[in-house]
Copies of this chain bind each other. A is one copy, B any other.
């Protein structure tokens, strides 16, 4: 058998490459050849890191920030965000205009110009976003008995960074930027296990503890100072497609009013489900209808079967505390 160098001049290798190229023609959709540019995942991820460095300056960069150099460091970062993000937004606007048969034509300079306007608006919105993130950070610090300081929350908790990226993505989603907002929140999902759709509307002061497995759907609405633990789903009851007959973009995911707490593993489903202000939803609760303000909902757990060594199984209920 020839060694590997020879193998590459082997007709079998050449045939494998030709078959693969042929499959790009016969199975389109999952390849993108001779197409316009798509937004780049790598660039979008880099932009998120730049955005974190201006949202939470002094926390994640190696460079030490003082009053003297801050203007230059931050100005330069904003310029980089402006140029790279506008380019990616322009690509996604162009791509979507091309695919959307019902939509208007959009030439490249027009896409670039619209993209620049949107990203300029994002830069202008950053102070307001920081105001809200400050409330998110304070909520995290107050909400976890193990947290010692806001510094610890920013350096060692996933919550505030995940919500920070969601808040930027939500801004772009509101400006009707396609693709990029979801790429941003999926990056966070990959790093933290927290999956927030950029379409969700979330008030200030959210704290997501631990976070792994949290899913917050596209049309969910959360009030101020809500608190959510790992494994919580705010999901939809039925599955209908955009564009399907009879489909209207109504709310498919639940509403949490202000000061709602949802403990680990609880599932709340449906667009007409409203959890009233100040309610507490216990761990593992499965809820598909509304509850009034100030309600505590907890599951009455099924009897547990205890089997002690050598003895008969004993059934008894377990004391349950939220």
Contact = CB atoms under 8 A, between A and B. Distances in A.
B20 A127 contact: yes
Interface string A251-295: 010000000000011010110000000100001111111011111
A38 to B, nearest CB: 7
A131 B30 CA distance: 9
Interface in A83-142: 83, 86, 95, 99, 112-113, 116-117, 120, 123-124, 126-127, 130-131, 133-134, 137-138, 142
Contacts of A131: 23, 27
A317 to B, nearest CB: 10
Contacts of A293: 309
A23 to B, nearest CB: 4
A34 interface: yes
B284 A286 contact: yes
Copies of this chain, complex-wide, total 3
Q: Name which of A126, A130, A156, A241 has the most chain B CB atoms within 10 A of its CB.
A: A156
B82 A58 contact: no
B57 A32 contact: yes
A158 interface: yes
Contacts of A179: 151-152, 155-156
A153 to B, nearest CB: 9
A238 B131 CA distance: 29
Contacts of A287: 304, 318
Contacts of A112: 3-4
Contact of A304 (B143, B145, B298): B298
A193 interface: yes
Nearest to A308: B295
Interface in A7-27: 7-8, 12-13, 15-17, 19-24, 27
Contact of A23 (B8, B126, B305): B126
Contacts of A210: 189, 195, 215
A233 interface: yes
Nearest to A298: B305
Nearest to A156: B182
A130 B25 CA distance: 12
Nearest 6 pairs of A and B residues by beta carbon: A32-B58, A294-B309, A23-B127, A156-B182, A296-B307, A16-B123
30 contacts: A1-B113, A8-B79, A12-B120, A15-B124, A16-B120, A20-B54, A23-B126, A23-B131, A24-B70, A29-B150, A30-B130, A30-B137, A30-B160, A32-B58, A42-B62, A95-B151, A143-B239, A145-B236, A145-B247, A148-B178, A152-B182, A190-B192, A195-B230, A265-B265, A267-B284, A291-B306, A294-B308, A295-B308, A297-B306, A299-B301
Given A146-B218, A195-B212, 15 more contacts: A8-B79, A13-B82, A19-B124, A20-B74, A21-B71, A27-B131, A30-B130, A31-B58, A32-B65, A146-B217, A195-B210, A195-B230, A287-B304, A288-B321, A295-B308
